[in-house]
Amino acid sequence: MDYAVDVENLSYSYSEGTIALQSVSFRLVRGGSLALLGPNGAGKSTLLLHFNGLISGTGSVRILGHEVAKENLLWIRRNVGMVFQDPDDQLIMPSLWEDVAFGPRNLGQSDEEVEKNVSWALQVVGLAGLEERSPQSLSFGQKKRAALATALSMRPKILVLDEPTSNLDPRSRRDVVALLNDLHKSGVTIILSTHDVNLVPLLADEVLLLNREVIAMGKTREIMRERELLQEQGLEMPLFADLFEELRDEGRFDGQTPFIKSEAKAALDEISFTRK
Ligand SMILES: Nc1ncnc2c1ncn2[C@@H]1O[C@H](COP(=O)(O)OP(=O)(O)OP(=O)(O)O)[C@@H](O)[C@H]1O
Ligand SMILES: [Mg+2]
């Protein structure tokens, strides 16, 4: 089987002794989309940083069949685009254009290709026109989108995003969701962490619940209706699913759990209203 990511028995401790990951194993198929969920401090960022070799623990991490190890790092970083949780960790150049051009230039692209990829990336994140601005002068939400552009401009096969929608206004959030869906449809493998449970059904086919170790992994539509499992991890169900599962418990609904508005509207037709 052709896996985009294959993690086996991965453990990681920070130098002062915090065990952040313990015997984590999972696989994601090429072209898949995975949401990583877990409470603050669960090890989500720590896990994501392993995917392009920024940190390495014990156990094995393979990307498209290549072990994440020193001798493969160049190949790995060409293929895995990483968007950090904190955009200030990603934006280091004097201008936005240079930050977004940094990756393509490192790949040895021609000036023409660099220009094309930078314009495209800034366009799709909605920052075209701000090329000459200092990244540090951008608002936090703009920085989040700029950090995304620095990964996109390299046209990676695998895109790893640590809380890509946090701090975004509703329109930017919707745009990022649409963009990630487009990339996914074009064959890019997407792995992201998020606390926004309502976005998970829109963003990912699979969910990995992490809390230092793997708590559960499965189809989004199965995991995101497990009320107790989610609550045990300090999470909650998406709103529509929460409502209709409650109605199911009251014996008033017997259909498929809805996760998005159109499904909820269809589910409403199946409700037996008890009129007083
Ligand atoms: N640089 C570091 N040095 C020491 N400990 C760290 C470091 N970074 C994270 N940790 C610890 O490792 C554990 C996992 O942290 P991590 O940042 O991976 O969690 P997270 O799931 O991404 O949390 P959040 O939802 O808050 O982003 C936590 O206990 C955290 O305190
Ligand atoms: Mg984190």
pTM, full prediction: 0.94
Q: What is the mean pLDDT of the chain?
A: 95
**Residue 41 CA to ligand 2 centre (angstroms):** 7
Q: Is 75 in the pocket of ligand 1 (CB under 6 A)?
A: no
Q: What is the pLDDT of residue 66?
A: 95
Q: Are residues 212 and 263 in the same domain?
A: no
What percentage of the chain exceeds 90 in pLDDT? 95
To the nearest whole percent, how much of the chain has pLDDT over 70? 98
For residue 155, the CA-to-ligand 2 centroid distance in Å is: 24
Residues 75 and 204 in one domain: yes
Q: Of 144, 137, 150, nearest to 102 (Cα)?
A: 150
* Nearest ligand, CA 43: 1
Pair of tokens at residue 110: 């021609």
Is pLDDT above 50 for 220?
Answer: yes
50 C-beta closer than 6 A to ligand 1: no
Residues 185 and 213 in one domain: yes
Q: Using the 3D structure, point to which of 190, 210, 228 is the last residue of a domain.
A: 228
- Average pLDDT, stretch 211-219? 98
Quote the CA–CA distance of 19 and 112 in Å, as a whole number: 46
Number of domains within the chain:
2
Single-letter residue type at 251:
G
Same domain as 257, residue 136: no
Q: Which domain, by its residues, includes 254?
A: 238-276
Whether 233 is covered by a domain: the verdict is: no
Task: Place 271 in a pLDDT band, splitting at 50, 70 and 90.
Answer: confident
Determine, yes or no, domain membership for 212.
yes
Ligand 1, closest atom to CA 210?
Answer: 21
Mean pLDDT calculated for residue range 91-99: 97
CB atoms within 10 A of CB 169: 10
Say if CB 62 and CB 3 are below 8 A apart.
yes
pLDDT band per the 50, 70, 90 thresholds, residue 91: very high
Mean pLDDT across 27-53: 97
33, 190 contact by CB (below 8 A)? yes
The pLDDT of residue 17 is above 80: yes
Which regions of the chain does DSSP assign to beta strands (E)?
Answer: 3-13, 19-29, 33-37, 58-63, 66-67, 80-83, 158-162, 189-193, 206-211, 213-219
Nearest atom in ligand 1 to the alpha carbon of residue 85 is 27
Average pLDDT over residues 122-129: 95
> Across residues 185-208, what is the average pLDDT?
97
Can you tell me the mean pLDDT for 206-233? 97
Q: Whose CA is nearest to atom 18 of ligand 1?
A: 43
Strand arrangement, sheet containing 58-63: 19-29, 3-13, 58-63, 66-67
Question: Does ligand 1 lie within 6 Å of residue 19's CB atom?
Answer: no
Specify whether 182 is located in the same domain as 206: yes
- pLDDT of the residue at 276: 44
pLDDT over threshold 90, residue 83: yes
Q: What are all long-range contacts of 14-20, with beta carbons under 8 Å and residues at least 24 apart?
A: 19/212, 20/46, 20/212
Domain-terminating residue out of 228, 248, 264: 228
- DSSP character at residue 204: -
Read off the pLDDT band of 1 (50, 70, 90): low
What residue owns the CA closest to ligand 1's atom 4?
14
CATH number of the structural domain spanning residue 168? 3.40.50.300
Higher-scoring residue by pLDDT: 273, 220: 220
State if residue 201 touches ligand 1 by the CB under 6 angstroms criterion: no
Query: Over the stretch 173-188, which tens digit does the pLDDT of each residue have?
Result: 999 999 999 999 999 9
State the ligand closest to the CA atom of 209.
Answer: 1
Cα separation, 14 vs 95, in Å, equals 33
Site to substitute for ligand 1 among 12, 14, 191, most atoms within 8 A of C-beta: 14
Read off the pLDDT of residues 21-38 as tens digits, 9 standing for 90 and up.
999 999 999 999 999 999
